[in-house]
């Protein structure tokens, strides 16, 4: 199999889906790798390291897509990449199709086989390929929120941890999963008062145990969310339904009650967002906008700001799947790996994940019916 590694074209996206070490593993397995020149530079991997690992370097993205049987990426293909799609080509990347119905249609129309990192799911419900980026984004949410609370950034002028004699900031986190847990770690480490709203009693007990009572947990329901949002200096949206659009849990009316200069960071924006007043994703170049006196941070590729860390964390967990797919082929791998099968979002012109199909308003076709 020929594995293709194009350079990411999303604005200010510097991650790369394959490191030279991963490339070497693929080549040693007897497969071939074609890399677009400059693909790894943003993460600190020069072309020379890919060449030493046995990859073939090409100049244009079109060459990568044309030669490769499987394309590995970080971010979902953008409109200008749709023309590269071809029947039965395997695409392995984050897709977030619930927020990109036009991409879902293009994949189905071109009969691309598309596996989404974010819907590969273990029997215990965990999302192993989403976890490392959720860890990064959760930690960054507090880092970025603290910055935008500074007065010259338009914020309230509040230090998260306060100082002796001055109370710390109130950090409200909606969702106690991987993002929420990592946000809580950072916020508590900086000395903030932290409240996590979560709908699972079991998860709340876990958080209470892990943090030894240093944060407060609340049942996530509209009443409690409204009360907590009003008090927030920093509000972090950290909810996820695998493959589906993020639920809108914070209404426009709730945002209107927030303190002037408070900050919202919505980590769920790449799945459509959980905050009603965030109607668009932003970029690292222009990450925030103000509405009702509240600063909104809505960058859809937050881990792209720390590409070296993010690339290494991501490729640590993706490379085994790449090796399996390359050595066994798609069908054999999927039939023997139920976790990976849940990652298949599109196959032979059909949408094969139920949550994705519902989100993009397309018919759902069970994968096993297409063998």
Q: Please tell me the predicted confidence (pLDDT) of residue 99.
A: 84
Measuring CA to CA, which residue among 229, 250, 248, 220 is closest to residue 171? 229
pTM here?
Answer: 0.88
Identified catalytic residue from 233, 270, 296, 353: 270
96 noted as active-site residue: yes
SS3 123: coil
Tokens of 338: 């139920």
Alpha helices in the chain (DSSP H): 20-28, 47-52, 61-67, 101-109, 131-148, 178-189, 201-210, 222-231, 252-256, 307-328, 330-336, 338-341, 354-360
270 noted as active-site residue: yes
Mean pLDDT of residues grouped by 10 in the chain (371 residues)?
96 94 97 98 98 98 98 97 96 93 96 96 91 96 98 97 97 97 98 97 96 96 98 95 84 98 94 91 94 96 94 97 96 94 96 93 92 81
Q: Please tell me the predicted confidence (pLDDT) of residue 241.
A: 78
Q: Please tell me the predicted confidence (pLDDT) of residue 271.
A: 82
Q: Please tell me the predicted confidence (pLDDT) of residue 71.
A: 98
Identified catalytic residue from 96, 266, 296, 353: 96
Q: Please tell me the predicted confidence (pLDDT) of residue 242.
A: 75
Q: Please tell me the predicted confidence (pLDDT) of residue 125.
A: 87
Are 118 and 129 contacting, i.e. CB atoms less than 8 angstroms apart? Answer: yes
Span 8-57, pLDDT tens digits: 999 889 999 999 999 999 999 999 999 999 999 999 999 999 999 999 99
Are 266 and 275 contacting, i.e. CB atoms less than 8 angstroms apart? Answer: yes
Measuring CA to CA, which residue among 315, 311, 290 is closest to residue 301? 311
């Amino acid at each position: 199999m020929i594995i293709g590694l194009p350079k990411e074209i999303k604005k200010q996206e510097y991650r790369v889906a394959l490191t030279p070490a991963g490339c070497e593993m693929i080549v040693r397995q007897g497969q071939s790798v074609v890399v677009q020149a400059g693909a790894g530079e943003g993460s600190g991997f020069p072309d020379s390291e890919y060449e030493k690992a046995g990859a073939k370097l090409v100049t244009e993205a079109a060459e990568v897509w044309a030669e490769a049987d499987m394309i590995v990426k970080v971010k979902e293909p953008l409109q200008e990449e749709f023309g590269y799609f071809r029947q039965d080509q395997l695409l392995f990347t984050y897709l977030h199709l619930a927020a990109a119905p036009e991409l879902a249609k293009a994949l189905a129309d071109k009969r691309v086989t598309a596996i989404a990192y974010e819907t590969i799911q273990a029997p215990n419900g965990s999302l192993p390929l989403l976890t490392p980026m959720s860890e990064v984004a959760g930690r960054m949410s507090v880092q970025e929120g603290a910055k935008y609370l500074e007065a010259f950034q338009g914020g309230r002028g509040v230090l998260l941890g306060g100082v002796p004699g001055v109370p710390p900031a109130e950090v409200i986190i909606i969702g106690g999963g991987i993002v929420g847990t990592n946000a809580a770690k950072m916020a508590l480490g900086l000395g903030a008062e932290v409240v996590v709203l979560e709908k699972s009693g079991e998860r709340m007990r876990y958080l209470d145990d892990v943090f030894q009572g240093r944060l407060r947990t609340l049942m996530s329901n509209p009443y409690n969310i409204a009360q907590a949002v009003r008090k927030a200096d920093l509000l972090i949206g950290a909810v996820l339904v695998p493959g589906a659009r993020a639920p809108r849990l914070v209404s426009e009316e709730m945002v209107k009650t927030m303190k002037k200069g408070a900050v919202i960071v919505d980590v769920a924006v790449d799945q459509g967002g959980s905050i009603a007043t965030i109607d668009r994703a932003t970029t690292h170049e222009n990450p925030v906008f103000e509405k009702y006196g509240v600063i909104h941070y809505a960058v859809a590729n937050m881990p792209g700001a720390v590409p070296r860390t993010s690339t290494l964390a991501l490729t640590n967990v993706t490379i085994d799947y790449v090796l399996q797919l390359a050595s066994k082929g798609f069908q054999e791998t999927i039939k023997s790996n139920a976790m990976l099968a849940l990652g298949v979002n599109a196959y032979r012109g059909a949408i094969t994940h139920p949550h994705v199909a519902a989100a993009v308003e397309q018919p759902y076709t069970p994968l096993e019916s297409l063998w």
